[in-house]
Structure 1
């Protein structure tokens, strides 16, 4: 198994993985700078996650969209593949995506495309989801970081909104593959299956679920406090009414 992993660890792969760690470390450093020292560890973790989420969506996935819209090559009918889109942007004579670019982002995405071929091409489902992710989920993740830093109780609500979108997006990314026999996925070795396809994608399942769990607890406690206040007021009102009745009876 270890030899299989080493076979996949070329320079581009190592740089790509280190880039992910760099973004995670940047999110951690940002948390140290903007969060109050007394911030609970759960909120600190969620701040780091959402800052990391913003960086991944904006830098990495933004670069994927850039290559899909601005990198192309003439269409070769002899290179048909299930993920190959031949009329993207109404240009049937060209194909688009990272596979036809020559920049830092294209090299990164071609590493991941070894496990999921769609990310090297202009796959319509992936692009549609990424447009929402880059221009919607990314800014929302940053907004959540701001809300957490300001100790705004509305942060939990926005976490639920974002987490719902993340989970839905993950399902819509992989469901088409499950229904068509995983034609574009390669799980033939440990690196492709467990690192690229499972680990990196499951981050966007478990962390959103954790955010939803935290937000649920926050909202539940808020409702309990509100209900407690309302109950206390009703009890005070009842006692006041009884007191007035006693005074009248006298």
Structure 2
């Protein structure tokens, strides 16, 4: 029996388009790795975005059509009309996020609702009736996904089939807690893919000093690797691309760029994510 030489085998595999580089790094699925730009302190800039090489898309908390941005629907009639014009225009976006945490006015205590389920259902109906034929809509994302805001919204609008993916925000201290949270959301809503449009390791207290960068890095690497393995998680948006007030315990130890646009210890690992 004649043995094929290693070089011949490599050449044959190359012809078939099979990678032959020993130890070639794994790669995250296209579209999985994304970031959130928080408003305030400058928010998104092209210069900041260009430093984040691994991300496919980004979002922020207003409507926009910058390069690689996924627009987010606002909470009033003017925003809905703007969205109708865009999705029926010459360059409709591939995706559009709908209502962001409509069950919780950020910073309110006691909690105030931005849009009640019936209000949100009435508001979005004109957009769903004039949705164009290209843009895929992502379901609203409540701040408190254990409450009944989303089921009531779907019941009021009879529009659950109008959305291409569900959406969840995840702030847990550990990866295991985050997995439990995400799995619970998927168990409740399992007929479509899931987008995680905000995720970061929540801190015990405000303004951690020193910032536990090692823990945040490990959390980030593990959650992306696990997310890829599920196959039903299609996008994960790391929060945050930019530094914001450290009193926000959700993102006090997860920003990629500081106030001066300098890289934090998280940026390089984020840019080198392999999801493996």
Task: Compare CA radii of gyration and give the structure with the larger one.
Answer: 1
TM range (shorter): under 0.3
- TM-score, scaled to structure 2: 0.24
Higher strand share: 2
Q: Which has the higher helix share?
A: 1
